[in-house]
Structure 1
Amino acid sequence: MDTGTHIVMGIALGGLATLDPVVQSDPTLFHAVMAGTIIGSNAPDLDTVLKLRNNAIYIRNHRGITHSIPAVIFFGVAISSLIHAFVPDVSFFHLWAWTFAAVIIHVFVDLFNAYGTQAFRPFRNKWIAHGFINTFDAYIFNLHIIGIITWILGANPGPTWLIIYSIIALYYVKRYLDKREIVKKIKDYFPNTENVTTSPTMKQNFWRVAITTKDKFYVGIVENGHIQIIDEFHKRPIPKNPMMDIAVLDQNIAAFLSFSPVYRWEVAEYDGYTEVRFIDLRYRSKDYYPFVAVVQIDANNNIISSYTGWIHSENKLKRKLIIT
Structure 2
Amino acid sequence: MDTITHTLFGLALYGAVDKKQMDRKYKAAYLLTMVGASQIPDIDVISQLWDTEGLYQMWHRGLTHSVFLTPVWALLFYLLCLLIFKINDVKLFLLAWLAVFIHVTSDLFNAWGTGYIEPFSNIRLSFGTIPIVDFVIWVIIGIAFIFSKRNKLKAPHYFKLAWVFITLHFVIQSAQGYWIYNQYDKNYKQVALSASFVPWSYTVITKNEDTVTLFQDGLFREKKEVYVLHSNESADLNTLFTQVPKAKTLYEWSPFVVLVDDDNRLGLYDPRFYRNGQSFLFEYMEKKSEK
TM bucket normalised to smaller: 0.7 to 0.9
Aligned to 2:11: 11
Match for 1:109: what amino acid? S
Give me the TM-score of the superposition, normalised by structure 1.
0.79
1:220 aligns to 2:205 (yes or no): no
Q: Of 28, 34, 40, which residue of structure 2 is paired with 1:43?
A: 40
Structure 1 284/297 Cα, relative in aligned 2: closer, same or farther at 3 Å? closer
Aligned to 2:77: 79
Q: Deviations over 1:76-113 (max 9, x none)?
A: 1112211211222x333111111121111111111111
Greater alpha carbon shift after TM alignment, 108-117 vs 258-267: 258-267
Runs of 4+ in 1 over 6 A off after TM superposition: none
How many Å apart are 1:136 and its aligned residue? 0.8
Question: Which secondary structure does the structure 1 equivalent of 2:282 belong to?
Answer: strand
Aligned to 1:141: 138
In 1, Cα distance between the equivalents of 2:184 and 2:254?
A: 21
In 2, Cα distance between the equivalents of 1:116 and 1:175?
A: 16
Q: Of 234, 245, 266, which residue of structure 2 is paired with 1:276?
A: 266
Sequence identity percentage? 21
1:286 aligns to 2:276 (yes or no): yes
Match for 1:162: what amino acid? K
Is contact 1:115-1:131 (8 Å) kept?
yes
How many Å apart are 1:54 and its aligned residue? 6.2
Match for 1:276: what amino acid? L
How many Å apart are 1:52 and its aligned residue? 4.8
1:245 aligns to 2:243 (yes or no): no
Is contact 1:50-1:57 (8 Å) kept?
no
Is contact 2:269-2:282 (8 Å) kept?
yes
Is contact 1:113-1:199 (8 Å) kept?
yes
Q: Of 154, 157, 170, which residue of structure 1 is paired with 2:168?
A: 170
Aligned to 2:201: 206
Aligned to 1:99: 96
In 2, Cα distance between the equivalents of 1:85 and 1:285?
A: 48
Is contact 2:241-2:247 (8 Å) kept?
yes
Aligned to 1:319: none
Give me the TM-score of the superposition, normalised by structure 2.
0.87
Give structure 1 stretches of 5+ with no counterpart: 300-324
RMSD over aligned CA atoms reads: 2.6
Greater CA radius of gyration, 1 or 2?
Answer: 1
Total equivalences in the alignment: 285
Instruction: Give matches, 1:46-195, under 5 Å.
Output: 46-52=43-49, 56-88=54-86, 90-153=87-150, 154-187=152-185, 191-195=186-190
